[in-house]
Chain A
């Protein structure tokens, strides 16, 4: 935990909704002075909303935004000591480069000769010295980007907010700008808060990354922590390539997955506990030494990716794994493989089955997810509060709604080596997790069917103090 004086911005229990949609759900974290922090997540995860709350465009429904110890919820953007680089730059088209950059200083009534000095200095910093009189619309994307950064920096903000500033640039330019931004951050010593959906950019630039999904923080950590020790399947899947597999912790430092047992370095999960396991594709090694071999597999495809080859192999136990290696192995060949204990990341299972709070509505009838289901209600009275449990593989997905109990959209797909683990969002906004062998696409509209015998009812657990 950082000391209070080192913290420049703090968000406490921030929630924000647009209409019915909750975009930020109880967000709390802090940014240290001088830090390069990145909000990373897929589009619609709430990262831009979070940045806008810090900039002052919009107020949180709940919670407080604190800057240097003062709550700034009600401080308008023009009084906040921070500046923003907007996604589409938002350079004023009616002003030239000089006047765009000088905009903030002119508002503060800074003397003309000082403005000129400072504009020259900041334009030099972004390598745009000779462009003062140019029309902003005549500049290339990269040049506009630099002017936008200069315009934001000239006010000498304590915090610079950057909203996907490189998204509109081509790959080469993006890489160059990444390096320049990083150097600028080092040179200026101010706090940068950066928003991006590009995991590689986040890993390259940041001191700290906040990984977000569906309005919730998934993980906060250094790039190395987040890559090597993702806390859940979402983070593992979003950051880099990964093999995410169902596993079972046999005891400390011993885990089973793909129907083989491996040594690992994780402890404290307990014995015989279900877990998720992540193995990065570059961490599965080929060997010719039978003594080292932990499992065998057959190469199923091999694609050249520039620096490395990407291969999919079928293990002798029927799982599919992705492997990256500098050397290709011919398709169809039998290979021997092993994984270092260090490279196996064990994660606590977030849930083992779907559970919903519900109510018995009659003999053999129960209501949950805003829907009435038939099931065995033996032992329960009408009106009883119950918890309904449905195993992931017992939920059927249909491509039509006629026979379905309810409908939803596929929002997240995870390949688990031998099946897909889907997150389906119902119309009411509840999540149903489904294990299936069928191939669905993200965004697919699906009918959801649950058979009576697959619903198990239990009494709600009441917590006694």
Chain B
């Protein structure tokens, strides 16, 4: 080992202690029963547990809905923010990012309080509102960055070749901003699948998400089943990452904050 690479040692130790070891432990717990014997029972239990499966399906559904909602609101917002004619001030961008400075839990609690003050019944609507509110900046910012760094001459070249403003957007701006959208999707979809705090506070646990049942199992000392569920969730995230990483490999770089 030469001198330089030894500088990496602290990071290496950190990674082993806080990333690799927990992952190995999740794997070990997931594949053991309560008395420490090797078993697949925890995994098969999930696939036969109707409640768990439907919760899982609901989580995915909510996550997809939330992601679409974030794209729907976030893309036009990012587009306006990135346009020099529509937005002349950098302050507006900061205003959109500002909520991220406040702890998500506190924001969620405050939102719940607002709903109860306004007398809005808690349910799926409030859940989606809360999720969208929490994760919207994560969608806006990568798209904004992607649009902001895009060379204006692409749009001009398209116009020059006969494209109307609508065609310029569909054929050039939108396809070129997709890496930003993919980054946004990654940053919104995955955390939404695993979140439990938002559903707890904004639906009073009326709606349970996948994250909620993991948390309940762990809280009730069902470590092995909880670990198995976490493992399944990790695999799902891994698969979605790989799927979108395949066709968008090099382009996602730089789109993140």
User: CB within 8 Å of B: which residues of A?
Assistant: 55-57, 76-78, 83-84, 86-88, 90-94, 103-104, 107-108, 151-152, 155
The answer to whether B153 and A90 have CB atoms under 8 Å apart is yes
Can you list 13 pairs linking A and B with CB atoms under 8 Å apart? Answer: A77-B159, A78-B159, A78-B162, A83-B160, A86-B157, A87-B153, A90-B153, A92-B176, A103-B161, A103-B163, A151-B161, A152-B160, A155-B161
Chain A CB within 8 A of B54 CB: no
Q: How far is the CA of A211 from the CA of B159 in the complex (A)?
A: 29
Interface size class of B (residues with CB under 8 A): 10 to 19
The answer to whether B162 and A92 have CB atoms under 8 Å apart is no
CB distance from B209 to the nearest CB of A (A): 36
Contact with A along B139-182 (1 / 0, CB 8 A): 00000000000010110111111111001000110011000000
Q: How far is the CA of A104 from the CA of B171 in the complex (A)?
A: 11
The answer to whether A86 and B163 have CB atoms under 8 Å apart is no
A106, closest chain B residue (CB): B171
B178, closest chain A residue (CB): A94
Closest A-B pairs by Cβ, 8 of them: A90-B153, A104-B161, A90-B157, A77-B159, A84-B160, A94-B175, A107-B162, A78-B162
Q: How far is the CA of A90 from the CA of B163 in the complex (A)?
A: 15
Q: How far is the CA of A91 from the CA of B172 in the complex (A)?
A: 11
B168, closest chain A residue (CB): A78
Q: How far is the CA of A77 from the CA of B161 in the complex (A)?
A: 8
Q: Is the interface of B mostly helix, strand, loop or mixed?
A: helix
CB distance from A59 to the nearest CB of B (A): 14
The answer to whether B154 and A104 have CB atoms under 8 Å apart is no
The answer to whether A88 and B153 have CB atoms under 8 Å apart is yes
CB distance from A31 to the nearest CB of B (A): 18
A101, closest chain B residue (CB): B161
Q: Chain A residues with Cβ under 8 A from B167's Cβ?
A: 107
| Residue picked from A87, A90, A103, most chain B C-beta under 10 Å | A90
Q: Name the one of B153, B154, B161, B176 contacting A107, with C-beta atoms under 8 angstroms.
A: B161
Q: Chain A residues with Cβ under 8 A from B157's Cβ?
A: 84, 86, 90-92, 151
| Residue picked from B151, B153, B162, B163, most chain A C-beta under 10 Å | B162
Q: Name the one of A55, A87, A88 contacting B160, with C-beta atoms under 8 angstroms.
A: A55
CB distance from A49 to the nearest CB of B (A): 14
Q: Name the one of A76, A83, A88, A94 contacting B161, with C-beta atoms under 8 angstroms.
A: A83
- Contact flag A57-B163 (CB < 8 Å), given A88-B151, A90-B151: no
The answer to whether A86 and B153 have CB atoms under 8 Å apart is yes
The answer to whether A93 and B164 have CB atoms under 8 Å apart is no
A99, closest chain B residue (CB): B171
A84, closest chain B residue (CB): B160
Q: Name the one of A88, A91, A94, A107 contacting B163, with C-beta atoms under 8 angstroms.
A: A107
The answer to whether B156 and A78 have CB atoms under 8 Å apart is no
Q: Chain B residues with Cβ under 8 A from A92's Cβ?
A: 154, 157-158, 172, 176
CB distance from B191 to the nearest CB of A (A): 29
Give 8 new A-B contacts, CB below 8 A, not counting A86-B156, A151-B161. A57-B159, A77-B159, A77-B160, A90-B153, A90-B154, A107-B161, A107-B162, A155-B162
Q: How far is the CA of A93 from the CA of B178 in the complex (A)?
A: 12
Q: Chain B residues with Cβ under 8 A from A107's Cβ?
A: 161-163, 167, 171
| Residue picked from B158, B160, B175, B176, most chain A C-beta under 10 Å | B160
CB distance from B257 to the nearest CB of A (A): 22
Q: Chain B residues with Cβ under 8 A from A94's Cβ?
A: 175-176
Q: Chain A residues with Cβ under 8 A from B151's Cβ?
A: 88, 90
A82, closest chain B residue (CB): B160
- Contact flag A78-B163 (CB < 8 Å), given A92-B172, A103-B158: yes
Q: How far is the CA of A86 from the CA of B155 in the complex (A)?
A: 12
A76, closest chain B residue (CB): B159
Q: How far is the CA of A155 from the CA of B160 in the complex (A)?
A: 10
Q: Chain A residues with Cβ under 8 A from B171's Cβ?
A: 103, 107
Q: Name the one of A90, A108, A151, A152 contacting B156, with C-beta atoms under 8 angstroms.
A: A90
CB distance from A357 to the nearest CB of B (A): 37
Q: How far is the CA of A93 from the CA of B177 in the complex (A)?
A: 11
Q: How far is the CA of A91 from the CA of B175 in the complex (A)?
A: 14
Q: How far is the CA of A152 from the CA of B157 in the complex (A)?
A: 9
Q: Chain B residues with Cβ under 8 A from A87's Cβ?
A: 153
CB distance from B215 to the nearest CB of A (A): 42
Q: How far is the CA of A130 from the CA of B154 in the complex (A)?
A: 24
Q: Chain A residues with Cβ under 8 A from B161's Cβ?
A: 78, 83, 103-104, 107, 151-152, 155
